[in-house]
Amino acid sequence: MRFNLIGLVAVPVVFALAVTTSPGSAAGQAPAFKLEGKWKYQSFRPEPTSLPAVRDCRLFKAWSPPGDVTIDASGKGTLVFKLEGGTDLTLDLTCVVSDPVAPATATRLWVRAVKPLGGGREFTNELQGFLVPQDLATPTGKQVFRGTIVQTSADIAPKDPQPQFTTGFFVLEPAM
């Protein structure tokens, strides 16, 4: 079992979100896309974690369990992983949503996740993603955020900790 930010597997996670205006938004204006609502979250990582740039097929494994996200109109929210053990781990997130600015065509999401550990230490992850069709065959259908997650600090998992700078991908989709 592991609990690694969004790589948590053994602990429910609750974190707060703060949405700020984006580089692509007019000064003082919030981006047109709103994160408000209920979302589902999951992250994955390669196994093994260090992959060379080769053309062979590699496997990915769940880095986090599925999580339930609720975000309010102010951009604050929670992500809760329902896991065995009953322990909670709280992470603070700062999120930035950017409307597309030419030549870009996709809404972009940046997230910094921080868990203060005491003594000036933190557990951190960085996420960047894009709003894309959930089903690529139906580009006008349901939209989800897909992107990259990088563990930017030492892992805090008690078992099978991953090295700093382990990367993977995440999916954040409406819970509808």
Q: Which residues, in sequence order, are bridge partners of residue 168?
A: 149
Residue 25 structural domain: 3-174
pTM, rounded to two decimals: 0.74
Question: What's the domain count of the chain?
Answer: 1
CA 133 to chain centre: 17
Residuewise pLDDT in 10s, the chain (176 residues):
344 444 433 333 333 333 333 444 444 455 567 788 888 888 988 877 776 666 565 688 888 777 777 777 666 666 766 666 877 777 777 777 888 877 878 899 888 888 888 999 998 989 999 999 998 888 888 899 999 999 999 988 777 888 999 999 999 999 87
User: Alpha-carbon distance 7 to 165, whole Å?
Assistant: 13
